[in-house]
Amino acid sequence: MHSRAIVAGNWKMNGSRAAIDEFAPALADAAAGIRCPLAVCVPFVYVSRLAERFADTTVAVGGQDVAAEVEAGAFTGEVSGEMLIDAGATHTVVGHSERREKYGETDAIVVAKTRAAVTAGLVPIVCVGETLEQRENDQVEAVLGRQLGALLDGCSAEELDRIVLAYEPIWAIGTGRTATPEQAQEIHAYLRSQIADRDATLARSLSIVYGGSVKPDNAEAIFAGDDVDGALVGGASLKADSFADIARAMDAVGKTS
Ligand code: 13P
């Protein structure tokens, strides 16, 4: 079985050409000593610059969204998977909770974007997660089951084989309030069991990463969970040293040999 390990950064709406030029050489240096596969997902306008900077490294570059449409055409403001590939990306975030909550992305849109990304040849990092209110009302499994179910129903086995699933509890994003390692492992095991109900082979090979206030000082404990295959890192991915330290935590728990 291929390694499920990956640590991906999500810069969100942060960054500049100057920030890219400072970050890239520092992370490239660090990555030379890190076994865990790395990806950095940046605003569309910086994808090609970052891809050029990482050209001779093992660090992958991604976008943070992708058009649901595959063919070029009259879709003002959209960026297709093919364009992302052309700019040097190999990954893209899809269905982040900020897009679901602030830009009205439904499960159906997330499925369409996931499929479009795979069609283009990208690895979509597809996000699922519950709000604090849903957690307090005991709706975690219902919400995640619905979000995951849409993907399992809407994508083919071949498409699902290409994705990375990211569990990002909304209450833990940017709040400094991370899920406990036990909470993360419990939900990752739940997600994997739901997938196994449909396809046991896929469940064994699919990467499920955790996102939500992952920092160098909590990463190793979170990564210790059997079903936690890495992280989708927001704030701590903006600095090469903290991002590299999180990746080293994956190496330290022995999941990347
Ligand atoms: P933070 O790591 O800043 O909490 O962000 C998590 C996230 O949303 C990554 O996609």
Best CA proximity match to 122, nearest among 130, 131, 113: 113
Tokens of 239: 């600095």
Is there a domain that residue 257 lies in? no
CATH number, domain of 13, equals 3.20.20.70
Best CA proximity match to 173, nearest among 27, 23, 10: 10
Best CA proximity match to 165, nearest among 200, 136, 194, 139: 194
Is there a domain that residue 51 lies in? yes
SS3 124: strand
pLDDT of 237 above 80: yes
Is there a domain that residue 1 lies in? no
- Which secondary-structure segment (H or E) carries 94? strand 91-94
The predicted model gives 223-249 an average pLDDT of 98
User: Which of 7, 10, 96, 131 has most ligand 1 atoms within 8 Å of CB, for mutation?
Assistant: 10
Tokens of 202: 């896929």
Tokens of 18: 């100057």
Nearest CA to ligand 1 atom 7: 234
User: Which ligand 1 atom minimizes the distance to the CA of 98?
Assistant: 8
Residue pair 141/100 in contact (Cβ under 8 Å)? The answer is: no
Is there a domain that residue 122 lies in? yes
Q: How many structural domains are present in the chain?
A: 1
Nearest CA to ligand 1 atom 5: 234
Q: Indicate the angle between helix axes 181-198 and 140-154, nearest 10 degrees.
A: 40
Average of per-residue pLDDT values in the chain: 97
pLDDT in tens, 153-199: 999 999 999 999 999 999 999 898 889 999 999 999 999 999 999 99
Is there a domain that residue 39 lies in? yes
Is there a domain that residue 35 lies in? yes
The β-bridge partners of 178 are none
Q: Which residues span the domain enclosing 74?
A: 6-252
Amino acid at 227: D
User: Which ligand 1 atom minimizes the distance to the CA of 237?
Assistant: 2
pLDDT in tens, 26-84: 999 999 999 999 999 999 999 999 999 999 999 999 999 999 999 999 999 999 999 99
The predicted model gives 99-124 an average pLDDT of 98
Is there a domain that residue 218 lies in? yes
pLDDT given for residue 176 in this prediction: 84
SS3 122: coil
Amino acid at 100: R
First to last CA, the chain: 13
Q: Indicate the angle between helix axes 216-223 and 240-252, nearest 10 degrees.
A: 30
